[in-house]
Amino acid sequence: MTGGNLEVFDAGVKGRGLKATKELHTGEVIFSEPSYAAVVFDSLVSQVCHGCFRHQTNLHRCAQCRFAHYCNRTCQTACWEEHKQECAAIRSSGFVPNEKIRLAARVLWRRRKDQGLASDNQLVAVDLLEHHLDLLPEGELKKVHEDVVSLLKFWSGTTQQNSTEFLSHILGLVGIRNNSFPLKDQRGLQDVGLGIFPSLGLVNHDCWPSCTVTFNHGNQSAVSSALHSRKRMELRALRTIPEGEEVTISYVDFLNLSADRQKQLKEHFYFDCSCEHCSRSVSDDLMSAAAETKPPAEKVKEVTAFSKESLEKIEKARDAGDHSEVLKLCQECLEKQEGVVANTHLSRLRVLSVASQVLSHLKKFSEAAELAQKMVEGYMKLYHPNNAQLGMALMRAGVTYWHAGQIEEGHKMICEAYRILMITHGPNHSITKDLESMRTQTEMELKMFKENDLNMKWTRWSPLNSPVQALVGPSSLPSPYSALIPPFP
């Protein structure tokens, strides 16, 4: 089956896959798919619009179920076709189940509406997605059976149409991470929900992929009765892809040792990764590298163990909102690491990330910028040059330099972040538009300073009063550390 730029093919031991039907170019939108079903995370039900998945204040609740929240009447009306069954089930059952059961219920309602058939833009029917129930350990399989009971309580009408076995199948497929994709807020900074995208679920994994997926909220001002026309997941090329080559995405963050990535993939996606980077342990040496001073191996081992313990303490202090303790732990760990592990060492990068963010939160921008610079230098040696994570890190570092008054360095990083995110997110994404505004503003300031022969660290102007402060300022995020690199396993 083909869909424009892609066709389904037999990928051998990987099962089905998607390959290019023509040469594809860097940054090109290869495939765009609306969500088959999507839900807001349980923890954010009153902070994120259930229609457009934007983080908003002063959301309006559904008057009937008192559960769903929307930006305005437009979002609510556009989402009614998706929500009305859920709304009735909530009122009838008297409770709201967890996000996984809500997502499974929405899949069932959508399937009933479509009569189980794939729509015109789908490459595969949702029924044909893998569920991997046969690979689940006994404890997880028991949880699926418990979820079936909860689903039956939530929507009693399902027993008239679906067997318990089929409900287990649906719950299994929504629980498999390559079938469901996290949905980010409009800034691309926080995962706020989960969606099923059947066609994109066919894209196989590679630790050094040819593509990336990005959630596009569309134009908020657009009035549409079909909400699916606005919230879409886009598959974008990270490089030129020849005709006939399989397209791939990465299911996990590359910044883990090969063995750790393979473990994550086996535990959560149920396959053994044999991609080139895992097979050859590419970059593992850099991710565990000692400093150039060549300290004894035993010292590196000792500091690595200390770093792991410190990161666990940092995470606890972060969760408790104790910024001073987070900073203290980071500084102690960085001091211990100095001269022992390289700036590409995973533990070093993770502490640098947290430390630069907490220093920014405390408005110590010069110190934050220095650490962010080291972090970015490490990232650039490890990540693919068009990796979205690298682009986001460059954006944060650039804005930190800007806040510190070092506008020339900040401008360079913002420009590079813009280049990357134009590839991964495209020109119409909110975050790219923000970067374009920042790039223009810093360019104007540099020109003004040069014309007036002013010091680049001129402090009478502060970007803290700029509209783009909302992009990185503590007031815009639920936590100043919301973009943490995943902690040590």
pLDDT in tens, 144-172: 888 899 998 898 765 566 788 888 888 88
pLDDT in tens, 193-232: 999 999 999 999 999 999 999 998 765 544 344 444 457 8
Q: Taking 80 as the threshold, does the pLDDT of residue 433 lie above it?
A: yes
Q: What pLDDT does 207 receive?
A: 97
Among residues of the chain, what percentage have pLDDT more than 70? 86
- In DSSP terms, which residues pair with 215 in a beta bridge? 233
Mean pLDDT for 41-47 is 96
Q: Angle between the 73-93 and 138-154 helix axes, to the nearest 10 degrees?
A: 100
Looking at per-residue pLDDT, the higher value among 406 and 474 belongs to: 406
Q: What pLDDT does 279 receive?
A: 96
Q: Taking 90 as the threshold, does the pLDDT of residue 482 lie above it?
A: no
Among residues of the chain, what percentage have pLDDT more than 90? 66
Local confidence band at 4 (pLDDT 50, 70, 90 cut-offs): confident
Cα atoms in the 13 Å half-sphere on the side-chain side of 486: 12
Mean pLDDT for 129-145 is 81
Local confidence band at 86 (pLDDT 50, 70, 90 cut-offs): very high
Q: What pLDDT does 471 receive?
A: 45
Q: What pLDDT does 117 receive?
A: 66
Mean pLDDT for 111-118 is 76
Highest mean pLDDT among 42-46, 78-82, 268-272: 42-46
Local confidence band at 307 (pLDDT 50, 70, 90 cut-offs): very high
Q: Taking 80 as the threshold, does the pLDDT of residue 50 lie above it?
A: yes
Contact 290, 300 (CB under 8 A): yes
Q: Taking 50 as the threshold, does the pLDDT of residue 483 lie above it?
A: no
Q: What pLDDT does 473 receive?
A: 40
Q: What pLDDT does 84 receive?
A: 92
Query: pTM of the predicted model, to two decimals?
Result: 0.87
Least confident piece of the model among 117-126, 146-155, 253-262, 310-319: 117-126
Q: What pLDDT does 485 receive?
A: 32
Kindly report the average pLDDT of the chain as a whole number: 86
Q: What pLDDT does 189 receive?
A: 82
pLDDT in tens, 360-375: 999 999 999 999 999 9
Mean pLDDT for 443-472 is 60
Distance in angstroms (rounded) separating the CA atoms of residues 178 and 209: 14
Q: Taking 60 as the threshold, does the pLDDT of residue 487 lie above it?
A: no
Distance in angstroms (rounded) separating the CA atoms of residues 214 and 218: 12
Query: Alpha carbon of 325 to those of 132, 329, 488: distances in Å?
Result: 43, 6, 19
Local confidence band at 486 (pLDDT 50, 70, 90 cut-offs): very low
